[in-house]
Amino acid sequence: MTFKHSKWQYIFALCAIVLVVYLFRAIGNSISFSNFLVYGENILPKRNHGIGSHRHGTDTVAAQAKATDRIIASSRKPLVLFNEAGNPVRNRVVSVPDFKTSFPDINDVQFTTAQQLGISQRVKNREAAENQKDELVFIGDNPFYRVEKLNQSIPYLTPRAARLLETIGRAFMDSCMTKGVGMHKIVVTSVLRTQEDVDRLRRYNVNASENSCHLYGTTFDIGYNKYDKINDPTGEEKPTEWGVKLKSILAEVLADQRKQGTCYIKYEYKKPCFHITAR
């Protein structure tokens, strides 16, 4: 009897140990999977969680900003203008399937990022902008883009937005050359708006938003119907390309940037431009 009792005690203890081990493994797998889900949520951009979105202690807007900095700072791919046979490269113009669906980021989507990553306080007027140069940089005509005469904004951006704008301008020029349309520059049509600019706009445009992304220095507009042709001073002048082709090339460049997560983009049709906020 003593032997049988010890035997059943041994079997019971063994089963208990197996059960405990199984429970620990199950709990461990559950925790790991839960952590994976949380991490996966945190690294993905969230668009509808309000200003300064936080989930499980992670600020996704700030995390995406760091990723954007890395992408913009990465080295450019070498520009290949001739193939192995020595003939000029002629890449095909692809464009995007549809402008509105390819660039759908409405103001509410862009505003959260603009407010969190932009300047700490709205600029009252042009004089005030001069005193916020620790947060803003001046942008002007350069080899990669031209700034149109501005009536409702001033030529200042945050450093990240300025770097993104230059990246887009360089990529557009490279793409034009590899597609055989010659060198062209994009044209910037709107940049930082002061509070006075917004108040003035709202007086004669009831649809003008008081919460404009342009107030924070993260946002700029690029016209899709205006381009500057650059002629080779040592070569013969090339004919001006049709704007539709250049718009398609610009759309390719912007779609690539949006896919990488460096910016939000809205296709505007009433005001012919791409409305862009750096992320």
> What span, in angstroms and rounded, lies between the C-alpha atoms of 149 and 223?
13
Tell me: the pLDDT tens digits for 64-118? 999 999 999 998 888 888 888 888 888 999 999 999 999 999 999 999 999 999 9
Looking at residue 38, its pLDDT comes to 32
Rounded CA gap, 255 and 100, in Å?
A: 12
pTM: 0.76
User: pLDDT class for 2, splitting at 50, 70, 90?
Assistant: very low
| Alpha-carbon distances, residue 240 vs 93, 182, 186 (angstroms) | 16, 9, 14
Mean pLDDT taken over the chain: 82
- E runs forming strands in 40-198: 54-55, 58-59, 137-138, 145-147, 156-157, 183-190
Share of the chain above pLDDT 70, in %: 77
The highest-level CATH class for domain 54-278 is: alpha beta
Q: Could you tell me the residue ranges of all domains in the chain?
A: 1-43, 54-278
**Overall average pLDDT of the 198-224 stretch:** 87
Query: Cβ contacts of residue 202 below 8 Å, gap of 6+?
Result: 208, 210
In the prediction, which pLDDT does 243 show? 85
Say which residue the tokens 């890395």 belong to: 70
